[in-house]
Amino acid sequence: MDEAIDATKKLYDSVLRMKEAWVAEQIPTEARNGRIRTDLLAERLEKWHVVKLGKVAKTIGGAGFPHDYQGQKTGRYPFYKVSDMNLIGNEQILHRAENYIDDTALKKLKARLIPAHAVVFPKVGAALLTNKRRLTSVECCIDNNMMAVTTGSVPHEYLLEFMGRIDFASMVQMGAVPSVNQSQIEHIDLPVLAPEKHQEFKKELERFNSTITTVEKQLATIQELLQKLTSSIFL
């Protein structure tokens, strides 16, 4: 059983490396301070045109989330905090939240709704330096330690992969607490493909992600079976 787990983990790691290598070939990653090094990418940039992110996307800031409004496990809108990015099942797409609110709380908090398929990330503090990015799955809210970027001009899968390759450590504002602001995010250089190329990217990425999900489920099944067998031995 241990051998099966090890083999599945190796397969999982192999698929992840293949995906990473493929994405690296598709998206220019030589970026610093959100600026594409066109001198390093002259040949590769022939199939892209580069625009400022703010020209094709909208940034949305989070809202304050007083403790009195926290703790509701059900509601119309999930209210995500940075810590929710670490929940099991939220590794890429946000499916779960520790807090939810209804329309009444939404109005009182004056929180802006974040649409589904937006890319969200920490914008302040040590969490910013982890470069974590997630996609929203439904309309939701985020707290004021986070920011969202949403666009209909490029596939959200592409935007997620691209944003995940921008190192915010090279963009942070100097001070006791690292942070990035809306203007900095909007001035990031975004390489844009032709629409048909974006669709090809989306289909291939879905193929990789589907394989990764399948292997993850296989690994979870084997581990669950091993746990049951181990428990039965010691009964």
In the chain, the N- to C-terminal Cα span, in Å, equals: 19
Residue 206 lies in a domain: no
* In-domain check, residue 45: yes
What domain range includes position 77? 30-194
Number of domains in the chain: 1
Tokens of residue 21, six digits? 């290598």
* pLDDT over 90 at 217, yes or no: no
pLDDT, one tens digit per residue, over 59-73 is 999 999 999 999 999
The answer to whether residue 6 is domain-embedded is no
- Per DSSP, the residues of 137-184 read SSSBEEBTTEEEEE-SSS-HHHHHHHHTTS-GGGTPPSSSS-B--HHH
Give the CA angle between residues 22, 28, 34 to the nearest 5°: 135
Alpha-carbon gap, residue 36 to 53, rounded angstroms = 12
| Token pair recorded at residue 17 | 């490396």
In a domain, 58, yes or no: yes
Query: What does each C-alpha distance from 182 to 57, 90, 169, 185, 187 come to in angstroms?
Result: 12, 24, 16, 5, 9
The bridge status of strand 49-52 relative to strand 189-192 is antiparallel
Listed range (25-39, 51-65, 84-98, 146-160) with the worst mean pLDDT = 25-39
Residue 221 φ then ψ, to 5°: -65, -45
What average pLDDT score do residues 141-158 get? 93
Residue 20: φ, ψ to 5°: -60, -45
Question: What single letter denotes the amino acid at residue 31?
Answer: A
- 107-141 pLDDT per residue, tens: 999 999 999 999 999 999 999 999 999 999 999 99
**CATH code for position 54:** 3.90.220.20
**Could you tell me which residue, 31 or 77, shows the higher pLDDT?**
77
Which is it for the CA torsion 25, 21, 58, 210, positive or negative? positive
Residue 25, in any domain of the structure? no
Residues 176-207: pLDDT tens digits? 788 999 999 999 988 887 777 878 888 898 89
User: Does residue 199 lie in a domain region?
Assistant: no
Examine residue 18 and state whether it is found in any structural domain, yes or no.
no
3-state secondary structure of 71: coil
Looking at the domain assignment, is residue 201 inside a domain?
no
Q: Are 164 and 133 in contact (CB under 8 A)?
A: yes
For residue 118, the cross-strand partners are none
Residue type, 138: V
